[in-house]
Structures are given as C-alpha cells and as structure tokens.
Chain A
C-alpha cells in the first residue's frame, strides 16, 4: 500500500474535466485507489466520488493506492496532479 499527500495546483480546482482525466487514468490500473479529503474517503475510480470532494486549489488530499500495480498507478496519478491536469 502506498500513501501520498498532495496539494491541488490548478486554479479551478478538481472540477469536472480534471476529475474525468483522473478517473480515466485510474481505470487503467487494477489496484484500488482511494482519495481522502478531510472526513470524506471516496473511491478514486468513481467520477461522481471524485467530484463529491469538490477540492479547490490549495486543498490537500491524501491518496492511497493498494494492489498489484500500485507503484505504476501511483506514478501515473501523481504525475497527473503534478502537471496540474495539464491546465493553467
């Protein structure tokens, strides 16, 4: 199991488009992927779940990867957050 803390970089926060990009990447992997914000823990492969977080710029999320391809999954997802979902 891998756990990582990240901060949302892109200005508009984790809105619909980045949420869609995130679940698309997550769906390519077998491992479980959870996102925890404050008291809410959601499945990172569910777009409704990700949008429920309503994570704004600067908010911090805890990511948890668990499964056989967790390493590759963590790298792909963290890269996506790092690049701010390729948004301004």
Chain B
C-alpha cells in the first residue's frame, strides 16, 4: 500500500446556490433576491464589509462571502436614503459573490434592488452575527479542506476510528464484517474519503453512492444496515489509528514491544500506524479491538509497553541476582 501515491484534491469553488441549499435550514436562510445563485465563492474566509461601506476599499477582500451584521446595518441606517444607496453601491464596484445579513436586520428594498441589478444574491438569517459567522466559517472550512480517497475499510471500534489498509484481497472486508458482527460500526468499506478538518484532525466517510455497501469475496455485495440494522453504521468518524494488514514475513519490520510508535502521514497529519502481520489462525478482529482499547488507555495516559518497561528497569536497578520469581510468594491454603 503506497499511500504517497494518493492524490490530494480540494474544491476551488462552490456556488452560492450550494451554500444556500446546504445551510438554509440550519441557519434559517431567507432569500431576499434569488439572482446570482450560480456565483462562485472561492475563499473559505468571510468578510465584514464595514470599511468598504464607509468608502475605504483598499484591501477589500470582495471575492469572499460578505456578512453584514449590526455594525454595517446600523451604519447604513444612520444616513439618509440617498447617501445610504451611494454607500451600499460601493460594494458593487467589485465582483462580490453574495451578501448575508444577520440578526434579522431590516434592509431597504432599494438596497436589495441594487444587489439584484448587479446579480448579487442577498440572504438573511435570524442568527446573531457571531453564531452565523461560526456556522458559515465551519461550512466553508469544510468545503475547502483537502481530501483524499483511500482504498481501505473504516470502522468505529469502541469509539476509536480504525482505518484498515493493505493490498487487495488481504481480508480487510472480512475483518470489518467480523467487527460489525461484534457490535462495532461501519463507516465505509473499500473507498474511504478523508478530509482534514481544522488542524490535525482527519474525518473519514464513505462516498454518496457506496455508503454502507460492502463486498465479501465469494458472496458478493451486501448492504450492512439492511442486514445488521442501523446500530451497525455511522456516517463519519475521526481517523485515529491506521492498521496495515501485511502478509507475515520473517524479515518484516513488526514491533515487538510497542515502545516506539510509528506514524503515517495522511494529508500532513501524523496518525499512529500499526503494521499487523496476518497468518491463518490469527484472530485479527480481537487484535483490532485490543488496538482500539490500547489506544484509549494511552489517551487516558497509561502506556502498557512503557509501564512494563519501567517495572523491568526497577528490577534491574535493584541488582537482585535471583531468578524470575513466582508472582505469589506463598500459595496459602487456596487450592482453586
């Protein structure tokens, strides 16, 4: 599995129509002019055009989504209508994608008409500016974040996102099925799209077509939620551990202590990477569960390998010449 060969993609623009369609219910977007829904947003940042309204247009980031909050609207209201129209018109000397008015501020029909004439949609939300900005930024950040699609199976095991990779036919889907049967939840099999959210967080999901279908060799395509029910699936999960399944090879570089954690870079984020040799009779499902639980333990500050190593160092430091002792000094009359 050569992860470095995988192509990173990112969206370069989204239409205002798409933003409206996705967010209309969440932030209760009301459309004041329905023109210009095909306008493109190319930047994940948003802009408050206060200074532009006041006439200062140097450094005006006009290509961003423009959000007019209380400041902008009160400033406009402080002027007589004629001046207000002149100030508002300043914005349309630039090619702005859309205007969103927050806090249910009232905007004059004359101003809406100017926007419509310039093919700029105006929408309004009842949310306060900070809340609206939070939602809009989160949405735009998600839309413009880098993505990769990875050939692997992605399962939520005890709440830990475990991504299985390995060559085709090595048994990723079979382990996934086994985990689902044991009550864990499938995110996606075969094609996993991974998106970087914020700094250092990877979120994995399936594709819209495949979602929770999977292929089992010799059986064909199965639909997981239909067979196992809704408890067996989830739509997205943070990627926390990568488990690479490999054929056993006596020269293979497999860790024996777990003291040195290897990592794998996906979208420039380091993710713990466990190389797991497989051979007949080895129960990978149980090992996968232990990997998840061990990750949890480490997360809570307990590292099994380090603890054992400390114990060993202490015994060595005592310079005891004795052989390895029985764990119990004296088996009192307990013959169980």
Count the B residues whose beta carbon is within 8 Å of the partner chain — how many? Answer: 19
From known contacts A48-B189, A48-B191, A49-B190, infer whether A43 and B168 are also in contact, taking CB-CB under 8 Å.
yes
Contact with A along B166-186 (1 / 0, CB 8 A): 001100000000000000000
Q: Which residues of B contact A49 (CB under 8 A)?
A: 151, 190-191
- A49 to B2 alpha-carbon distance, docked (Å): 17
A34 to B6 alpha-carbon distance, docked (Å) = 10
Q: Mark B1-45, 1 if CB is under 8 A from A, else 0.
A: 010011101000000000000000000000000000000000000
Q: Name the interface size band of chain A.
A: 10 to 19
What residue in chain B is nearest A64 (Cβ atoms)?
Answer: B5
Chain B residue nearest to A40 (CB atoms) is B149
- What is the CB-to-nearest-CB distance from B56 to chain A, in angstroms, rounded to a whole number? 39
Given that A39-B9, A48-B215 are contacting pairs, would A54 and B191 also be in contact in the complex, using a CB cutoff of 8 Å? no
Q: Which residue of A lies closest to B172 (CB)?
A: A46
- Cβ of B214 under 8 Å from chain A: yes
Q: CB < 8 Å: which of B6, B7, B209, B221 contacts A47?
A: B221
Which residues of chain B are near A42, meaning CB under 8 Å? 149, 151, 191
Contacts of A46 in B (CB 8 A): 151, 168, 190-191, 215
- Map CB proximity to A onto B198-223 as digits: 1 under 8 Å, 0 otherwise: 00000000010110011100000100
A80 to chain B minimum Cβ distance, whole angstroms, is 17
**Contact: A51 with B7, CB < 8 Å?**
no
Give CA–CA (A32, B7) in the complex, Å. Answer: 15
A41 to B6, CA, bound (A): 7
Q: A42-B149, A49-B190, A52-B191 known; A27 and B168 CB under 8 Å?
A: yes
Complex Cα distance A81/B331, Å?
74
Contact of B213 with A48 in the complex, beta carbons under 8 Å:
yes
With a CB–CB cut-off of 8 A, which chain B residues contact A36?
Answer: 7
Chain B, residue nearest A36 (CB): B7
Q: How far is the CA of A39 from the CA of B25 in the complex (A)?
A: 29
**Among the listed A40, A41, A48, A54, which residue makes an inter-chain contact with B190, where contact means beta carbons less than 8 Å apart?**
A48
Chain A residues within an 8 Å CB radius of B190: 43, 46, 48-49, 52
Q: Are A48 and B168 in contact (CB under 8 A)?
A: no
Q: Give A44's nearest chain B residue, CB to CB.
A: B168
A residues 1-53 touching B (CB-CB < 8 Å): 27, 32, 34, 36, 39-43, 45-49, 51-52
The answer to whether A41 and B209 touch (CB under 8 A), given A47-B221, A48-B189, A48-B221, is no
Nearest chain B CB to A12's CB is how many angstroms away? 16
Question: A48 and B214: CB pair below 8 A?
Answer: yes
User: Within the complex, what minimum Cβ distance (angstroms) separates A4 from chain B?
Assistant: 16
A26 to chain B, nearest CB (A): 8
Please, which residue of chain A has its CB at the minimum distance from the CB of B11? A39
**Cα distance, A41 to B15, chains bound together (Å):** 24
* Chain A residues positioned under 8 Å from B210 (CB to CB): 48, 51-52
Cα-based distance from A45 to B169 in the complex (angstroms): 8
Chain B residues, CB < 8 A from A40: 149, 207
A→B interface (CB under 8 Å): 27, 32, 34, 36, 39-43, 45-49, 51-52, 54
Cross-chain pairs A/B with CB under 8 angstroms, 15 sampled: A27-B168, A39-B9, A40-B149, A42-B149, A42-B151, A43-B168, A46-B215, A47-B221, A48-B191, A48-B210, A49-B151, A49-B191, A52-B191, A52-B207, A54-B209
- 7 closest Cβ contacts across the A-B interface? A45-B168, A48-B190, A43-B151, A39-B9, A46-B190, A52-B191, A41-B7
